[in-house]
């Protein structure tokens, strides 16, 4: 009898131990997950426009047994910023924060929420040094360079020699001037904004070191006069009936008739324009550019007008308060691996940030008989990036863009106004803007 009782007790003990082990294993499986915090717009883009990311996310989940979840915040929600920040200060909050191509991460890094990863992420050393942020917190996954595609047909018509890869912003505007002088074009915001893209540098309004706005009123007055002279120079076909309200809607209200007409006009004239306004190829990816350059209709050259399109990056930062940070780092290490980075290149859209696979990329180009001009363009741009000649949007602050937007909006108001502003009135308005921006900077 004692023997039977002993056997029963042993069996109960074994069952109990097995039960504990199962519960523990179940808990481990549940805990093997990471969460990516992302806004709703970026989630849509990443889900539908990043095939390599999605494919390798699924492969990572299968091979590593680590679930990758998304925590999506609706950008249309008025409490978006508050919701974002509240999640980042939670214990065991989201592991990673997605940083889209056109967004900033500097302000988050300054709060101390981002983890410094250079000594924690093995493949971080493979990233091109020039695109690493000074805090070693942002982890780029791929990069873009949006080039300028000039119309070869127009060049032949005007008898203009084609520029080389080392052309400049001044070269572009000389060509543009000849084109407009020969044949005036319908006015569109796209043509006009080209003139204003360097407004912050030309007017030198923001002292980032001292976090202060200083507006040289006389310089602004001269700038406005120059733009008004350009507008009424005869190079643009203007609508006589248009008032300031029409121009305002053309520039800013995407649902307005004026905005839609201007966009349709630009699309319609794209093949006869000096350049294609809607050319979205990545000049770094020679596989994706080769066919366009083979056709020969366009002269594809480095971007020299729009600074923000010279180097566009997307990636992640690691949340210091995140859950399963080690697993998040493992996922990022996977995305930066030679295998995944080569797949990014093969998809003909993005360009890898891993500098160790350049030889493999050259072999792929050779095996696919890629256009030599496309290869030369990639190598030229890569040299510029390695030398630090191109700044990413991530190098700018969100303050820079807000000030730029406010200044541009005010300048447009003066240029397209139904009445002529006096120098005194412009000075007074600029002083108000200066005070407003400095008050905002010091909040």
| Nearest partner of 103 among 159, 41, 155, judged by Cα | 41
Tell me: pLDDT of 399 over 50.
yes
> Residue 340 CA to chain centroid, in angstroms?
21
pLDDT digits (tens, 9 = 90+) for 151-192: 999 999 999 999 999 999 999 999 999 999 998 999 999 999
Residues 6+ apart with CB under 8 A from 24: none
Give the pLDDT of residue 46: 84
Give the span between the Cα atoms of 257 and 268, in whole angstroms: 16
pLDDT bucket at 87, cuts 50 / 70 / 90: confident
Give the pLDDT of residue 128: 97
Give the pLDDT of residue 167: 97
Mean pLDDT rounded to a whole number for the chain: 88
Tell me: pLDDT of 8 over 80.
no
Q: Quick one: tokens of 298?
A: 């366009």
Residues 6+ apart with CB under 8 A from 68: 33, 34, 36, 57, 60, 61, 331
Count of Cβ atoms closer than 10 Å to residue 57 Cβ: 18
Tell me: pLDDT of 77 over 80.
no
Count of Cβ atoms closer than 10 Å to residue 18 Cβ: 10
pLDDT digits (tens, 9 = 90+) for 413-427: 999 999 999 999 999
Count of Cβ atoms closer than 10 Å to residue 123 Cβ: 20
pLDDT digits (tens, 9 = 90+) for 194-236: 999 999 999 999 998 899 999 999 999 999 999 999 999 999 9
Give the span between the Cα atoms of 46 and 341, in whole angstroms: 16
pLDDT digits (tens, 9 = 90+) for 226-248: 999 999 999 999 999 999 999 99
Give the span between the Cα atoms of 393 and 104, in whole angstroms: 7
Residues 6+ apart with CB under 8 A from 76: 40
- Dihedral Cα 403, 409, 415, 418, nearest 10 deg: -140
pLDDT bucket at 277, cuts 50 / 70 / 90: confident
Range 403-411, long-range pairs (CB < 8 A, 24+ positions): 403/200, 403/205, 403/206, 403/213, 403/437, 404/199, 404/200, 406/433, 406/436, 406/437, 407/199, 407/200, 407/203, 407/205, 407/215, 407/433, 408/196, 408/199, 411/196, 411/199, 411/220, 411/223, 411/224, 411/227
pLDDT bucket at 7, cuts 50 / 70 / 90: very low
Give the pLDDT of residue 106: 81
Tell me: pLDDT of 52 over 50.
yes
23: left (phi over 0), alpha (psi -120 to 50) or beta: alpha
The highest-confidence range among 28-42, 265-279, 291-305, 386-400, by mean pLDDT, is 386-400
Mean pLDDT, residues 41-49: 84
Residue 265 vs residue 124, higher pLDDT: 124
Structural domains in the chain, sorted by start: 32-144+310-374 (3.40.190.10), 148-278+397-441 (3.40.190)
Tell me: pLDDT of 439 over 80.
yes
Give the pLDDT of residue 78: 65
Residue 331, SS3 per DSSP: helix
Give the pLDDT of residue 22: 35
Give the span between the Cα atoms of 441 and 303, in whole angstroms: 31
């Amino acid at each position: 009898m004692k023997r039977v009782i002993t056997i029963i007790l042993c069996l109960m003990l074994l069952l109990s131990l097995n039960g504990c082990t199962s519960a523990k294993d179940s808990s481990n499986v549940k805990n093997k997950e990471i969460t990516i915090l992302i806004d709703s717009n970026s989630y849509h883009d990443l889900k539908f426009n990043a095939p390599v990311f999605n494919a390798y996310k699924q492969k990572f989940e299968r091979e590593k047994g680590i679930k990758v979840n998304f925590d999506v915040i609706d950008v249309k929600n008025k409490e978006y910023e508050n919701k974002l920040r509240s999640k980042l200060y939670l214990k065991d909050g989201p592991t990673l924060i997605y940083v889209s191509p056109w967004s900033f991460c500097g302000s988050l890094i300054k709060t101390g929420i981002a983890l410094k990863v250079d000594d924690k992420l093995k493949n971080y050393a493979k990233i091109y040094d020039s695109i690493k942020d000074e805090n070693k917190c942002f982890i780029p996954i791929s990069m873009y360079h949006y080039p300028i595609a000039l119309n070869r047909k127009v060049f032949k018509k005007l008898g203009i020699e084609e520029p080389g890869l080392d052309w400049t912003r001044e070269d572009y505007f000389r060509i543009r001037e000849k084109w407009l002088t020969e044949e005036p074009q319908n006015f569109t915001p796209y043509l006009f904004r080209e003139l204003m893209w360097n407004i912050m540098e030309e007017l030198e309004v923001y002292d980032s070191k001292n976090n202060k706005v200083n507006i040289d009123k006389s310089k602004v007055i001269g700038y406005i006069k120059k733009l008004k002279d350009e507008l009424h120079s005869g190079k643009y076909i203007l609508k006589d009936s248009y008032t300031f309200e029409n121009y305002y809607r053309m520039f800013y209200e995407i649902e307005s008739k004026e905005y839609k007409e201007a966009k349709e006009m630009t699309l319609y004239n794209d093949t006869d324009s000096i350049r294609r306004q809607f050319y979205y190829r990545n000049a770094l990816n020679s596989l994706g550019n080769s066919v366009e350059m083979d056709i020969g209709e366009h002269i594809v050259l480095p971007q020299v007008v729009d600074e923000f399109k010279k180097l566009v990056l997307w990636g992640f930062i690691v949340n210091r308060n995140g859950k399963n940070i080690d697993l998040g780092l493992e996922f990022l290490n996977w995305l930066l691996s030679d295998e995944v980075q080569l797949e990014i290149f093969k998809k003909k859209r993005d360009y890898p940030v891993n500098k160790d696979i350049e030889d493999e990329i050259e072999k792929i180009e050779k095996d696919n008989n890629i256009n030599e001009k496309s290869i030369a363009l990639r190598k030229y741009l890569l040299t510029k990036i390695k030398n630090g000649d191109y700044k990413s949007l991530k190098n700018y602050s969100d303050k820079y863009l807000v000030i730029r937007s406010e200044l541009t909006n005010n300048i447009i108001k003066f240029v397209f106004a139904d009445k002529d502003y006096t120098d005194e009135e412009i000075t007074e308005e600029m002083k108000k803007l200066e005070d407003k921006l400095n008050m905002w900077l010091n909040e």
